[in-house]
A and B are shown apart, each in its own frame.
Chain A
Amino acid sequence: MAVSHIFGASVRRREDPRLISGQATYVDDVKLPGTVHAVFVRSPHAHARIRRIDVSKAQSAPGVLAVLTGQDLVGKVGNIPCAWLIPGADLKLPDHPPLARDVVRFVGDGVAVVVAETRDQAGDAALLVDVDYEVLGAIVDQEKATQAGAPQLHENVPSNIAFRWPLRGGDIQKAFQDAEVTVKQRLINQRLVPNAMETRGAIAQYHQANGDLTIWVTSQNPHIHRVLMSGVLGIPEHRLRVIAPEVGGGFGSKIHHYPEEAVVGFLAKMLLRPVKWSEDRRENYVATIHGRDHITDIEIAAKRDGTILGIRGQTYANLGAYLSTASPGIPTILHGLMLTGCYKIPAIDYVVYGVLTNTTPVDAYRGAGRPEATYIIERMVDLLAAELKMDPVEIRRKNFIGADEFPYTVASGITYDSGNYSAALDKALSMIDYTEFRAEQARARQQGRYLGIGFSTYVEICGLGPSQVAGAVGFQGGLWESSIVRVHPTGKVVLYSGSSPHGQGEETTFAQIIAEELGVPIEDVDVVHGDTNAIPMGWGTYGSRTTAVGGSSAVLAARKVKEKARRIAAHMLEAAVEDILFDQGKFHVRGVPERSKTIQEVALAAHLAWSLPKDMEPALEASAFFDPSNFVYPFGTHICTVEVDPQTGQVKLLRYVAVDDCGPVINPKIVDGQVHGGVVQGVAQALWEAAVYDANGQLLTGSLMDYALPKASDVPAIETSRTETPSPVNPLGLKGIGETGTIASTPAVVNAVIDALSPLGVRHIDMPLWPEKIWRVMAEKGV
């Protein structure tokens, strides 16, 4: 590596100038001449049969070009596919028509679409679409949905059970036979609404002459959108261009292929006009996926000395009304396999029921299955510690997988790549000054104040992932990434990345990787992404995979370029290739540093091609496809301290310490930013956020007025630090950092609140820890 070391520097982000000056182009900013606007008519009922739809008034409203119902789309727009077909789970695949045909199954299910010259005209006309519904019984609770007599959503999904996914590893019977203590708990991981600040949207344009359809869409993975839409719309893949321009946050909610995107594409072809749809926030609350929503009963077995022997239980995962793109894989593969966390737990017996209900579909939301797993194991370890009257730190340490035991295969069968859990814990303990806090807590208790400290020693699975494993677990795609590094004649470099960053800053960090590798100024590197006509095939940005997988393909492409350049330099310098050394952008002859050629000189020679080594092709570019040999497993320790106000039940966050290990850090400022945002999202689940349905399936928290998104004044500054344990599974040792904050933080906060209330004998309170709930518990305990 070059001495300048742009890799590891907190350089300012290269995407920012356009974002801070109002010059960025998000989907809704794309304005094409002749654009018409689509507005969807959505079901106000959670479950109803459509008796009749009268579109005549809407059709004759001013400016209206078309009004289509689900029946009108039959044979024209295919069903919306589910693309994660988990094996061994008896998975049922209910039909998901782009617009409901006979039955609506959740509030927000699309029943018709209106296209008009202006958005207001389309909105006005949508109100005139008259739908006659026969209201059916609705079910929102995933446990009750499986019981006899519950309303059935789909004919081919008996008892509303879309799958039953069993997981067994080790000898669970022996674990519970040998147990000296067992602890059992029901844990609710409530439903959340992702709330990316940019809602979804799409604008499609059809080019009749050659049959090309271009669609700008709020997507985390334009190539996945392309391949799915190609099937849904029947447009050949090479005639479909998907562009994810600036994307205003996703958090998982923009992975999926949604009905509106397909319908807009179809309408553009039908009307021969560009068609745009922009989601309202209130629409976003019902029409964009939700996250989490697990009901778990779990039991842990241990020795009196705190050695954990096994864990068993079951989870009812609410999947909503249809199977969204990735939904079966989230509460299973990305959840169950991580249930033993960072501990040596030899036996597991777990079953996940994926249940359909009359609610918005549930799919990947930041962390996607791992926050739920971490919440379970980190809460259970605390409950066990309380039962054994052990210190929560001591019990964790006792069960950690040791730093010298990697790669380590856990009971679920997956193999963690690398780790040093004690190192991260030690660092976090010293930052929070654990001994002093316990002393302060004891003093506070004397004064009738409730201070608490909560730990989360987490590990997560990301950097998705080896394609072979993707296939084995039923993911209907590959999980490699790709890069093209093109050096122009003047030595300027463009990286075309198959990854699709949308706020995570890879235009900067990938440029840092390239600049470091090729020894060129970062200003000379541009990163292109997001347009299927410009970039090589890639599987997109989710599962904290962009840097670990996409970044790896970038460095491999740069290394190929460098190798070719070295051969050209040898030719130019009339030296043997093995005698050519590379340092800070210069090739020189070993022992003769003054005989050198810069990479820019080599780039020019490569393009002029007047004199190249025999049989060498001109120009200087390379592509690389990287398919990792394993996932990566970032880890760390998060510690939170709180004070609970007995008068109000209000939880005040005192301090929050996050020590994370994502391997070598490309840009510390960007990594800190990922942690800050992730932690606040996870804290918000612990304390505030919840998507609440009433028994009839009406979303009571259907707007930003009713759903408690954290504000600046709600959260403290997060204290971040890191340890560095490289991963052996990619060339730079990188691990993901995009989701660790959300994965780690939720149990840290809940553990802290329960610790604060432990003198009252409180064992557990379900999230979100709203003041009212805590106040009631404290009142019951006589406070």
Chain B
Amino acid sequence: MSQISVRVNDKGYQSDVEPRLLLVYYLRDVLGLTGTHIGCDTSQCGACTVIVDGKAVKSCTMFAVQANGASITTVEGLAKDGSLHPVQEGFWEEHGLQCGFCTPGMLMTALQILERNPNPSEAEIRHGLEGNLCRCTGYQNIVKAIQYAAKKMQEIKA
């Protein structure tokens, strides 16, 4: 067992973890944050994407011990004071989800896309989503959701 200390959604945690424990299992099984999903075992689907120290990371590809000292945001940490983050709002407004399973990962990736490029083109959004798979939407409304969020975030900044 190794001891780690992490901040997840602005809350500090200290845990003893097995060295082989993947970050996604740590979040889901140890911290009870089941919003982050597991969709594959080869780091293709992106359902488990979370933000680790500002970077979108597939949490099935990282050991919990590697997150020692890190600051992590999961889907549960997106809304602030009861109001949705613009990316969440975009997915809701534009019907960017159906079964919802890929959605948490999509939201975190969307956040990263918009942080790197506040005004992305459709092609840039589609490129940015390459690490996340969705079987329901055909991606069309996910793209629209991110465009909605981009506009909203720029309005907030302005």
Measured between beta carbons, the chain A residues less than 8 angstroms from B35 are: 21-24
Min CB distance, B79 to chain A, in Å? Answer: 6
Q: Which of A20, A199, A505, A669: most chain B CB closer than 10 A?
A: A20
Min CB distance, A480 to chain B, in Å? Answer: 25
Contact A26 B101 (CB under 8 A): yes
Instruction: Classify the interface of chain A: helix, strand, loop or mixed.
Output: loop
**Bound complex: CA of A281 vs CA of B47, how far in Å?**
12
Measured between beta carbons, the chain A residues less than 8 angstroms from B28 are: 29
The total of interchain contacts (Cβ-Cβ below 8 angstroms) comes to 176
**Bound complex: CA of A673 vs CA of B141, how far in Å?**
7
Interface-side segment among A97-105, A241-249, A532-540, A589-597? A241-249
Contact B20 A249 (CB under 8 A): no
Min CB distance, B126 to chain A, in Å? Answer: 4
Min CB distance, A277 to chain B, in Å? Answer: 14
Does A703 count as interface, using CB distance less than 8 angstroms?
yes
Contact A280 B92 (CB under 8 A): no
**Bound complex: CA of A621 vs CA of B108, how far in Å?**
43
In the complex, chain B residues 92-133 whose Cβ is within 8 Å of any chain A Cβ: 92-93, 95, 97-104, 107, 122-123, 125-127, 129-130, 132-133
Contact B97 A712 (CB under 8 A): no
Contact A12 B93 (CB under 8 A): yes
Min CB distance, B57 to chain A, in Å? Answer: 16
Contact B138 A197 (CB under 8 A): no
Q: Which of B37, B42, B74, B95: most chain A CB closer than 10 A?
A: B95
**Bound complex: CA of A504 vs CA of B97, how far in Å?**
10
Contact B135 A709 (CB under 8 A): yes
Contact of B101 among A198, A278, A282, A709 (CB under 8 A): A198
In this complex, how many residues of chain B approach chain A with their Cβ under 8 Å: the count is 56
Given A20-B88, A197-B45, check contact A281 B39 (CB 8 Å). yes
Chain B residue at smallest Cβ distance from A250: B99
Contact B74 A22 (CB under 8 A): yes
Chain A residue at smallest Cβ distance from B34: A29
Min CB distance, B49 to chain A, in Å? Answer: 12
**Bound complex: CA of A373 vs CA of B129, how far in Å?**
33
Does B62 count as interface, using CB distance less than 8 angstroms?
no
**Bound complex: CA of A669 vs CA of B99, how far in Å?**
15
Contact of B138 among A248, A251, A502, A718 (CB under 8 A): A718
Measured between beta carbons, the chain B residues less than 8 angstroms from A114 are: none
Contact of A712 among B34, B91, B101, B143 (CB under 8 A): B143
Given A16-B91, A196-B99, A503-B99, check contact A248 B139 (CB 8 Å). no
Measured between beta carbons, the chain A residues less than 8 angstroms from B132 are: 712
**Bound complex: CA of A20 vs CA of B107, how far in Å?**
8
Min CB distance, B108 to chain A, in Å? Answer: 10
**Bound complex: CA of A22 vs CA of B42, how far in Å?**
22
Measured between beta carbons, the chain B residues less than 8 angstroms from A211 are: none
Does B66 count as interface, using CB distance less than 8 angstroms?
no
Contact B104 A22 (CB under 8 A): yes
Measured between beta carbons, the chain B residues less than 8 angstroms from A120 are: 18, 20
Contact A17 B136 (CB under 8 A): no
Does B134 count as interface, using CB distance less than 8 angstroms?
yes
Measured between beta carbons, the chain A residues less than 8 angstroms from B41 are: 280-282, 703
Does A177 count as interface, using CB distance less than 8 angstroms?
no
Measured between beta carbons, the chain B residues less than 8 angstroms from A278 are: 38
Given A22-B74, A713-B129, check contact A703 B42 (CB 8 Å). yes
In the complex, chain B residues 20-36 whose Cβ is within 8 Å of any chain A Cβ: 20, 28, 32-36
Min CB distance, B18 to chain A, in Å? Answer: 8
**Bound complex: CA of A199 vs CA of B37, how far in Å?**
11
Contact A246 B135 (CB under 8 A): no
In the complex, chain A residues 90-112 whose Cβ is within 8 Å of any chain B Cβ: none
Contact B95 A669 (CB under 8 A): yes
Contact of B44 among A12, A28, A704 (CB under 8 A): A704
Measured between beta carbons, the chain A residues less than 8 angstroms from B32 are: 31
Contact of A21 among B38, B88, B142 (CB under 8 A): B88
In the complex, chain A residues 273-305 whose Cβ is within 8 Å of any chain B Cβ: 278, 280-282
**Bound complex: CA of A670 vs CA of B92, how far in Å?**
12
Q: Which of A17, A120, A713: most chain B CB closer than 10 A?
A: A713
**Bound complex: CA of A729 vs CA of B33, how far in Å?**
46
Measured between beta carbons, the chain A residues less than 8 angstroms from B98 are: 249, 503-505, 673-674, 677
Measured between beta carbons, the chain A residues less than 8 angstroms from B44 are: 703-705, 709
Measured between beta carbons, the chain B residues less than 8 angstroms from A248 are: 37, 39, 99-101
Contact B37 A26 (CB under 8 A): yes
Contact B99 A502 (CB under 8 A): yes
Given A23-B35, A281-B39, A705-B42, check contact A197 B99 (CB 8 Å). yes
Does A560 count as interface, using CB distance less than 8 angstroms?
no
Does A680 count as interface, using CB distance less than 8 angstroms?
yes
Does A168 count as interface, using CB distance less than 8 angstroms?
no
Interface residues of B, Cβ cutoff 8 Å to A: 18, 20, 28, 32-42, 44-45, 47, 74-76, 78-79, 84, 88, 91-93, 95, 97-104, 107, 122-123, 125-127, 129-130, 132-143
Q: A28-B34, A503-B100 are in contact. List 12 more A-B contacts (CB 8 A).
A: A20-B97, A24-B35, A29-B28, A197-B102, A248-B99, A280-B41, A672-B141, A680-B139, A704-B40, A704-B133, A709-B133, A711-B139
Interface residues of A, Cβ cutoff 8 Å to B: 12-13, 15-17, 19-26, 28-29, 31, 120, 195-199, 246-249, 251, 278, 280-282, 502-505, 669-670, 672-674, 676-681, 703-705, 709-713, 715, 717-718, 741
